[in-house]
Amino acid sequence: MEELIKRYEYEIIANDFDIAGSTSSSIKRNLKSIGVDPSIVRKVAIVSYEAEINIIIHSKGGKMCLEIYKDKLTIRAHDNGPGISNIDLAMSEGFSTATNEAREFGFGAGMGLPNMKKYSDNFNITSSSEGTNIDIDIYMD
């Protein structure tokens, strides 16, 4: 196991559209101020934004973590259900069960999970009715 340098944790509240994106914004701001390479920051920004929004619009709420290691960043998005019944289907481009309300806010293109996978170096997703866990690594070299 690599040495963990720092861990940040954020609470994400379901259906709170007012502050949707604020967690990924502060993750982005922190990484910039720490001095992480801009292209890495951008990947993390995209990945954490999609993960945050998914927790807000599809789940009962949960939390996100940013872990900083010597040469990688790990983003963990863990929520409290209801889970994804068919992960392969959810991962396919264009698949979405977003509500009309969420669509009015511009979400629901079904591109969130595919994009998260695209911008990460390791992408791991597990899901049950207890909750969905996504763990993502982005390397810093």
Name which of 38 and 106 has its Cβ closer to Mg ion. Answer: 106
Contacts of 122 (CB under 8 A, 6+ apart): 135, 136, 137
- What is the side-by-side order of every strand in the sheet holding 62-69? 4-12, 62-69, 72-79, 131-139, 122-128
Name which of 31 and 112 has its Cβ closer to Mg ion. Answer: 112
State residue 19 phi and psi, 5-degree precision.
-110, 20
Task: Determine the Cα–Cα distance for residues 103 and 96; give it in Å rounded to an integer.
Answer: 10
Site for Mg ion in 100-139 (CB under 5 A): 112
Task: Decide which of Mg ion, other proteins, ligand ATP, none touches 25; Cβ closer than 5 to 8 Å per partner kind.
Answer: other proteins
> Mask 82-121, x = binds ligand ATP (CB under 6 A)?
--x-----x----xxxx--------xxxxxxxx-------
Cβ atoms of 125 and 51 within 8 Å: the answer is no
- Write out the residues near Mg ion by the rule CB under 5 A: 54, 112
Contacts to ligand ATP by CB under 6 A? 50, 54-55, 58-59, 79, 84, 90, 95-98, 107-114, 132
